[in-house]
Structure 1
Amino acid sequence: MNIDPKLDLVLERVLDLTPEQVWKGWTTPEILTKWFCPEPWKTIEAEVDLKPGGMFRTVMQSPEGDKYPNVGCFLEVEKNKKLVWTDVLAPGFRPVPAVESGAGFPMTAFILLEEHQGKTKYTAVARHRSEEDLKKHEAMGFHDGWGICADQLVKVMKSL
């Protein structure tokens, strides 16, 4: 994958889980709601239609109770290896009328999983349309937030 540091944010980690465990955590709505948002925020709803063109929908809730829906479309689904979605398209590859995600900027996300000595090399990439959007996402705490979520994913999967 070609990374453009002006447009792409990247988080790489080795997670103490198998690729199958990480995949299950990302693709099972009841599990996704347990880790997908950095605490004290919560993901209170999730819908996963795991196919290209299928829906990826979450509703995040702030500590104050405000709800932030996010709806997107899966672009690529390669079991235990790759999950790609965007909020620029709605399910069925339909263009979104107003290109605004819950975060306030459109993006495409890649989750890449590689077996690594019984663990998983986990790469999360957030692609943006402009340097301004990347800076907004970075200022929101991309690295800390997505890192916390990765830690929460490990904790949740180890508790199952």
Structure 2
Amino acid sequence: MIPDLDPKTDLILTRTLAAPRHLIWDCWTQPKHIPHFFVPAPHKVTAVDINLQVGGRFNTTFEVDGNVMDNQGVYLEVVPCEKLVFTDAYTEGWKPAPEPFMTAILLFADATGGGTTYTAIARHRHPDTRKAHEDMGFFDGWGTVATQLETYAKGLMT
């Protein structure tokens, strides 16, 4: 179920992926899979540290155009094969982040033909942050990530 959305602060992308839900879930919850899809190529993920439980860490390190970006976050909700919610507003141990950007809500549902209806919501604290995220290329970037996720997950099916 999609939560109430506020168009002033929320961005949403929904796609049907040609891979089963359990594989899409595994890709999002197992550190070995994250580097294969999590940022649009040619950028890359260089480190992942996951503690998959409410209050557990979801930390990633990216390399974007030669710049290293550390992202620390925490899981707010984990419903196996259905929903992941994580945020950079806190780090593990509920330590507040100095400059939070967003909360991500990922929804996974069965789609016709054995695929997955994949919904990614980026919820922002302020309309200005939402606008900045959209201007940074939310739809293209998260769309590319969804395509990379689908391609990678389909490769796991063989």
Once the two structures are superposed, the pairs formed by residues 129-144 of structure 1 within 5 Å of their partners are: 129-144=125-140
Deviation at 1:94, TM superposition (A): 2.1
Q: TM-score, normalised by structure 2?
A: 0.94
Deviation at 1:45, TM superposition (A): 0.8
Letter in 1 for 2:47: E
Once the two structures are superposed, the pairs formed by residues 3-152 of structure 1 within 5 Å of their partners are: 3-63=5-65, 65-96=66-97, 98-100=98-100, 106-117=101-112, 118-152=114-148
Q: TM-score, normalised by structure 1?
A: 0.93
Q: Which residue of 2 aligns with 1:103?
A: none
| Structure 1 gap ranges (5+) | 101-105
Identity of aligned residues (%): 41
Describe the superposition over 1:44-87 as per-residue Cα deviations: whole angstroms up to 9, x where unpaired.
11111100000000111013x21001000000001100000010
Deviation at 1:92, TM superposition (A): 2.1
For these two proteins, the number of residue pairs brought into alignment is: 153
Q: Name the CA distance, whole Å, in 1 between partners of 2:117 and 2:32.
A: 24
